[in-house]
């Protein structure tokens, strides 16, 4: 294992330019490389970003956003029929509760905790285990203006510029102004932030940020926060019932059209469970596993856009679902880690993107969409490094970090990355990492307002499934912040709403059948059902065997 | 990944999979639909813990399915999670006192120092050392040594003393983070500023700008990476 021999020609060139590039970094890279202007950003995005390519978007023919251009793969999944059998009966009700939280990642755990704190009985259901979510995988950090030279206002300005000025201002105000409180709240639960000897937070810069604002927990930031939140949720067995391995299939409404629960589905046994709830909080995460435009993804196995599908059928409006985040630095070699996330913190601490000739060709701290587009462009120019299976990547020169911050820094600050590469025979203290953009984040989602309400009464949403706060491009460290801020708000609001809510009349899933009628009316016939629940990685041969020999749970079957 | 096939055993049955596969990609290649025992696929969540034996080796080894490359004649089973007692507590009522281990995880003191936990750990952590640190009541040491724990549970599954190392460490880290780390004095100041409405006028101003004015403000903003 390790890099194939032929790559060392290029690695030698990287090594040759490294001392000079280290000098530049010490003097401040801004002196040598200017961040792009508005016009230059626009051009590199238009020419290279996957969102701007032909066929990346198409109009959706049904539902609340009918006629709008959304990401093509999103449209394909939204325009499918439900997995629920047509004769499905919502009786008996298996569980009854004040608040149903769908999703066991960061947003779901925050929502469950705060709903419980505010007096609600909560059921939290999740497709896999509690904490199995993208939240667990975030590496680099969380943004919060905790330094004297920074402020919530500068955080706001950075995020709105990074988001192409499309962010909903009132959401962004809430996120940036509540960020320092979230730091404190998590610390009081026992999250171990990286700190300086005097107790102040260690902070790094991030792409598109004009100040050092990134707090971290080594490069296990998401894991540290998520495991603490999970542990805390499990400390409230009286108020919070946890249902693991039970994904939601469809939302349930009452006769007034309010969200009133969900149908859950046991993927092993094919059994359905009906949950009746006064308020539903959707915290199902994003869509990386739908592999938009064939890109590999950094995302969790469960990130299949389920919540968005259920909400859309129930009549919830979507926002910014024409925009996809590709993380600039996904691993492209070795093949076992293809598409895996290489944290932005590598660049924040001085790792530089360089081409096959060893040239630093871009300011390393552009917003993610711009940075990713620059890498794609460099490879198109023929200045990338070829992998044995014919793909191209650029070098992320990690050994610079040891030069700039002293030997031992990588093992201390990046234990996860160091371990990841070591498993495949590459020592990133001395060798650069080969990277290419990878599908990372759902910028948009179900549109929410300040208290997480969607356009469906009693349906709240928080975290990656929701849309608005990031505009059309999220900055690093703002998703961890987003799910904490809005997960908490959703929980508080859900408890309040539950006290005021009375479920009226018959529980029903009529909206599901009305949506299917709409599909038929448009003459839309598709293969397959949605939500996907799990991605498909079996080879064609084995799939054929399953289709012909047994399919015990069709059409809900997997 | 080359297409040379090698034999492996999954739940005792022999299959052929491409050389270079990980345990997870081998299972998918064969047509297993993974509904458990799979998670982030990047080594951060501990959902795909697996046990395996190699040909001619008496040792039972552990690894993460998404990070372990299969070898010829490898025998594999998955351990989606390890049932384990978890202490239920109110963190705000605890003290950074070693007594809490006696109260919540008394089995900790049965540690035989056999080092089985350390040998099985897929993260290569010094598990026995942090268990011993907990026995001594050294919260900081437990926090540092266990920080990269992904709670896959393999240590606990193998432990002859029935200790749930990963939950003990979880408790220790939370105590350390909440009670023993030095606090930031500036954070309190910033929170007071926000609470007192110091930034409200600034937000009003920013939110009232036209798109054009906002763009100018953004592209002309000062970039300053000094902390103060």
**How many Å apart are CA B84 and CA B165, to the nearest integer?**
10
Q: Is A155 a known active-site residue?
A: no
User: Looking at the structure, do residues B96 and B168 belong to the same domain, yes or no?
Assistant: yes
What value of ipTM does the predicted structure carry?
Answer: 0.97
For residues A305 and A375, give the distance between their C-alpha atoms in angstroms, rounded to a whole number.
Answer: 27
User: Is the Cβ of A154 closer than 8 Å to some Cβ of chain B?
Assistant: yes
Angle, nearest 10°, between helix axes A221-233 and A169-189?
Answer: 70
CB A193 within 8 A of CB B197: no
Q: Is residue B200 part of a domain?
A: yes
In this complex, the residue of A132, A224, A415 whose CB is nearest that of residue B39 is: A132
Single out the catalytic residue among A289, A300, A347, A489. Answer: A347
A438-449 in b/e form (b: 16+ CB < 10 A) is: bbbbbbbbbbbe
The 3-state DSSP composition of chain A as helix, strand, coil percent (nearest 5) reads: 35, 20, 45
CB-based contact, A38 to chain B, within 8 Å: yes
Does residue B40 form part of some domain?
A: yes
Q: B101 and B35 share a domain?
A: no
CB-CB neighbors (< 8 A) of A192 in chain B: 143, 147, 173, 176-177, 181
Highest CATH level, class, for A7-32+328-439: alpha beta
For chain A, the domains span 7-32+328-439, 95-323+443-500
Given B20, B48, B78, the domain boundary residue is B78
Alpha-carbon gap, residue A556 to A533, rounded angstroms: 10
How high is the pLDDT of residue A527?
A: 78
The confidence score (pLDDT) of residue B1 equals 46
Measured distance CA(A439)–CA(A329) in Å, rounded: 10
Other beta carbons less than 10 A from residue A178's beta carbon: 20
A180 CB neighbours in chain B (<8 A) are 187, 190-191, 194
Length in residues, chain B: 228
Collect all residues of chain A within an 8 Å Cβ-Cβ radius of residue B175.
190
Q: Does B147 touch chain A (CB under 8 A)?
A: yes
Angle at A535 between CA A530 and CA A537, to 5 degrees: 135
B181 contacts chain A (CB < 8 A): yes
pLDDT for B52: 97
In a shared domain, residues B189 and B163: no
Pair B65, B123 in one domain = no
Pick the residue from chain A with its C-alpha nearest to B175: A190
pLDDT at B3: 73
Portion 411-450 of A in contact with B at CB < 8 A: 415-416, 419-420, 423
- The predicted structure's pLDDT at residue A552: 44
Q: Say if the Cβ atoms of A416 and B173 lie within 8 Å.
A: no
Residues of chain A neighbouring B176 (CB-CB closer than 8 A): 190, 192
Rounded CA gap, A461 and A87, in Å? Answer: 29
pLDDT for residue A545: 75
On whether any CB of chain B is under 8 Å from the CB of A152, the answer is yes
Q: Are A451 and A459 in contact (CB under 8 A)?
A: no
Examine the pLDDT at B137 and tell me if it is beyond 70.
Answer: yes
Q: Which of residues 154-173 of B touch A (CB under 8 A)?
A: 170, 173
Domain membership flag for residue B228: no
Give the chain A residue nearest B207 (alpha carbons).
A169
Decide if A347 is catalytic. Answer: yes
- Tell the burial category of A39 from Cβ atoms under 10 Å away from its Cβ (0-12, 13-18, 19+): exposed
Confidence bin at B98 (pLDDT 50/70/90)? very high
B145 and B95 housed in the same domain: yes
A7-32+328-439 and A95-323+443-500, same CATH topology: no
Flag whether pLDDT at B87 surpasses 90: yes
Separation of alpha carbons A245 and A533, rounded Å: 11
> Are residues A233 and A130 in contact, defined by beta-carbon separation less than 8 angstroms?
yes
Q: Is B39 helix (H, G, I), strand (E, B) or coil?
A: coil
pLDDT digit string, tens, across residues B12-57: 999 999 999 999 999 999 989 899 999 999 999 999 999 999 999 9
The verdict on residue B125 lying in a domain is yes
Query: What is the domain count for chain B?
Result: 3
Q: Do A416 and B67 touch (CB under 8 A)?
A: no
Residue partners of A42: CB distance under 8 A and separation at least 6: none
Q: Are residues B138 and B215 in the same domain?
A: no
What confidence category does residue B228 fall into, taking pLDDT thresholds of 50, 70 and 90? low
Which B residues, 67 through 96, put their C-beta within 8 Å of a C-beta on chain A? 67, 69, 80-81, 86, 88-92
Closest approach of B173 to chain A, Cα-based (Å): 7
Q: Are residues B133 and B199 in the same domain?
A: no
**Neighbour order of strands in the sheet with A318-319:** A318-319, A445-447, A466-467
Measured distance CA(A144)–CA(A213) in Å, rounded: 6
Q: What's A95-323+443-500's CATH class?
A: alpha beta
Residues B71, B96, single domain; the answer is: no
Q: Is A532 on the interface with B (CB under 8 A)?
A: no
List the single best residue of A537, A539, A549, A552 to mutate versus B (max B Cβ within 10 A): A537
Q: Is residue B85 part of a domain?
A: no
Average pLDDT of every residue of chain B: 95
| Number of Cβ pairs < 8 A linking chain A and chain B | 230
Cα pseudo-dihedral A327, A332, A338, A343, rounded to 10: -40
Q: What is the CATH number of the domain that holds B54?
A: 3.10.20.30
Range of the domain at B43: 5-78
d(CA A206, CA A219): 14
Q: Do B35 and A336 touch (CB under 8 A)?
A: no
Q: Going residue by residue through chain A (558 aa), what tens digit of pLDDT does each one get?
A: 799 999 999 999 999 999 999 999 999 888 899 889 999 999 999 999 999 998 999 999 999 999 999 999 999 999 999 999 999 999 999 999 999 999 999 999 999 999 999 999 999 999 999 999 999 999 999 999 999 999 999 999 999 999 999 999 999 999 999 999 999 999 999 999 999 999 999 999 999 999 999 999 999 999 999 999 999 999 999 999 999 999 999 999 999 999 999 999 999 888 999 999 999 999 999 999 999 999 999 999 999 999 999 999 999 999 999 999 999 999 999 999 999 999 999 999 999 999 999 999 999 999 999 999 999 999 999 999 999 999 999 999 999 999 999 999 999 999 999 999 999 999 999 999 999 999 999 999 999 999 999 999 999 999 999 999 999 999 999 999 999 999 999 999 999 999 999 999 999 999 999 999 999 999 998 878 999 999 999 887 877 776 655 554 454 445
């Amino acid at each position: 294992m390790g890099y194939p021999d032929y790559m060392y020609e290029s690695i030698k060139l990287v090594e040759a330019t490294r001392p000079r590039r280290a000098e530049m970094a010490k003097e401040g890279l801004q002196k040598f490389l200017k961040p792009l202007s508005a016009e230059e950003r626009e051009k590199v995005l238009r020419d290279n970003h996957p969102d701007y390519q032909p066929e990346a978007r198409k109009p959706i023919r049904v539902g609340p956003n009918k006629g709008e251009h959304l990401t093509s793969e999103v449209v394909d999944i939204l325009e499918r029929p439900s997995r629920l059998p047509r004769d499905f009966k919502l009786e008996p009700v298996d569980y009854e509760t004040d608040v149903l939280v769908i999703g066991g990642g960061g947003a779901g755990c925050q929502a469950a905790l705060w709903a419980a704190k505010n007096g609600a009985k909560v059921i939290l259901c999740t497709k896999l285990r509690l904490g199995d979510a993208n939240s667990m995988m975030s590496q680099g950090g969380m943004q919060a203006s905790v330094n004297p030279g920074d402020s919530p206002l500068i955080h706001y300005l950075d995020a709105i510029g990074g988001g192409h000025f499309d962010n909903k201002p009132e959401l962004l105000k809430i996120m940036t102004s509540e960020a320092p409180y979230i730091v404190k709240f998590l610390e009081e639960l026992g999250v171990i932030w990286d700190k300086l000897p005097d107790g102040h937070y260690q902070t790094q810069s991030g792409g598109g940020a004009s100040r050092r604002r990134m707090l971290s927990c080594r490069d296990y930031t998401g894991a540290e926060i998520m495991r603490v939140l999970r542990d805390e949720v499990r400390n409230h067995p009286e108020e919070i019932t946890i249902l693991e391995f039970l994904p939601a299939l469809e939302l349930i409404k009452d006769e007034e059209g309010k969200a009133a629960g969900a149908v859950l589905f046991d993927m092993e046994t094919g059994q359905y469970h009906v949950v009746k709830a006064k308020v539903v909080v959707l915290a199902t995460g994003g869509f990386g596993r739908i592999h938009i435009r064939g890109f590999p993804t950094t995302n969790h196995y469960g990130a299949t856009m389920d919540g968005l599908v259920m909400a859309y059928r129930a009549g919830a409006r979507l926002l910014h679902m024409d925009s996809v985040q590709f993380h600039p630095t996904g691993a492209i070699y070795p093949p076992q880690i293809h598409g895996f996330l290489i944290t932005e913190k590598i660049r924040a601490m001085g790792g530089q993107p360089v081409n096959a000739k060893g040239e630093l060709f871009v300011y390393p701290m552009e917003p993610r969409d711009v940075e990713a587009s620059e890498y794609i462009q460099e490879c198109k120019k023929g200045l990338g490094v070829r992998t044995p299976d014919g793909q191209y990547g650029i070098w992320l020169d990690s050994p610079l970090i040891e030069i700039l911050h002293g030997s031992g820094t990588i093992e201390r600050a990046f234990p996860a990355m160091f371990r990841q590469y070591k498993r495949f025979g590459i020592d990133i203290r001395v060798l650069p990492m080969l990277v290419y953009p990878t599908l990372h984040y759902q910028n948009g989602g179900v549109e929410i307002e300040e208290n997480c309400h969607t356009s469906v009464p009693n349906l709240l949403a928080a975290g990656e499934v929701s849309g608005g706060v990031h505009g059309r491009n999220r900055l690093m460290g703002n998703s961890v912040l987003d799910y904490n801020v809005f997960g908490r708000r959703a929980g508080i609001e859900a408890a309040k709403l539950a006290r005021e809510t009375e479920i009226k009349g018959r529980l029903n899933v009529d909206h599901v059948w009305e949506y299917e009628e709409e599909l038929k009316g448009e003459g839309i016939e598709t293969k397959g059902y949605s939500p996907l629940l799990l991605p498909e990685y079996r080879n064609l041969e084995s799939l054929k065997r399953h289709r012909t020999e047994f399919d015990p749970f069709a059409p809900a079957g997997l | 990944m080359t297409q040379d096939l090698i034999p492996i055993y999954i739940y005792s049955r022999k299959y052929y999979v491409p050389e270079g596969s990980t345990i997870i990609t081998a299972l998918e290649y064969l047509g297993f639909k993974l509904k458990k025992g799979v998670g982030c696929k990047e080594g951060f969540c501990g959902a795909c813990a697996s046990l395996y034996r190699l040909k001619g080796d008496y040792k039972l080894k552990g690894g993460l399915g998404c990070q372990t490359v299969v070898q010829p004649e490898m025998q594999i089973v998955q351990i989606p999670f390890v049932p384990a007692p978890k202490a239920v507590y109110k963190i705000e009522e605890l003290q950074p006192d070693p007594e809490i281990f006696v109260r919540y995880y008394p089995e900790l003191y049965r540690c035989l120092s056999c080092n089985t936990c350390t040998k099985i750990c897929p993260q290569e952590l010094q598990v026995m050392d942090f268990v011993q640190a907990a026995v001594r009541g050294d919260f900081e040491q437990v926090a540092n040594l266990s920080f990269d724990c992904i709670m896959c549970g393999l240590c606990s599954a193998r432990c002859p003393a029935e200790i749930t190392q990963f939950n003990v460490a979880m408790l220790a880290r939370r105590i350390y983070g909440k009670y023993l780390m030095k606090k930031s004095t500036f954070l309190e100041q910033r929170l007071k500023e926000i609470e007192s409405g110091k930034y409200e006028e600034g937000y009003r101003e920013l939110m009232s700008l036209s798109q054009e004015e906002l763009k100018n403000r953004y592209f002309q903003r000062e970039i300053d990476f000094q902390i103060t």
